[in-house]
């Protein structure tokens, strides 16, 4: 294990001593100004058009019902909502608990 670590360290040390190609060297400010005046070669990416499409517009219509009762249908004239509330046991991993349960339906009033 120690030999592998030393071999990797030696490889990095040798790579640091090798001369850099001209393309990989850092560019100074004066070289950047001189390079900006030269025309650049067109590549596939720069030759593509850069027009942006406008975002798609979605129309949102609000629901226009007066009450927030589920299900959303008209139960008829003079309808009454009849609800029954009870407590039921639920068996959970932490233990048995008692929870409220409500059951509702529409009936004619």
Which tokens hold the place of 87?
């407590």
pLDDT confidence of residue 86: 97
Q: Is the pLDDT of residue 50 over 80?
A: no
pLDDT digits (tens, 9 = 90+) for 8-25: 888 878 877 776 665 566
Per the domain annotation, does 35 fall within a domain? no
| Per-residue pLDDT, 5 | 86
Residue 74 lies in a domain: yes
- C-alpha 92, offset from chain centre: 33
Tens-digit pLDDT profile for residues 56-101: 888 887 766 556 656 567 788 888 999 999 999 999 999 999 999 9
In a domain, residue 24? The reply is: no
Does residue 3 sit within a domain? no
Question: Based on the structure, what is the number of domains in the chain?
Answer: 1
String of DSSP letters for 24-87? TSPPPHHHHHHHHSSPPPP-HHHHS--PPPPPP---------S--PSS-S---TTEEEEEEEEE
Residue 82 domain-assigned (yes or no): yes
Model confidence pTM above 0.85: no
Q: Which domain holds residue 94?
A: 70-109
78 domain-assigned: yes
């Amino acid at each position: 294990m120690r030999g592998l670590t030393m071999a990797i360290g030696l490889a990095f040390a040798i790579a640091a001593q090798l001369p850099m190609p001209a393309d990989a060297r850092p560019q100074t400010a004066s070289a950047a100004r001189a390079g900006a005046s030269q025309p650049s070669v067109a590549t596939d990416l720069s030759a593509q058009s850069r027009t942006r499409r406008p975002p798609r517009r979605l129309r949102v219509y609000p629901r226009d019902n007066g009450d927030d009762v589920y299900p959303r249908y008209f139960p008829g004239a003079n309808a009454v909502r009849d609800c029954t509330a009870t407590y039921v046991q639920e068996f959970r991993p932490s233990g048995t608990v008692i929870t409220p349960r409500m059951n509702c339906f529409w009936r004619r009033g």
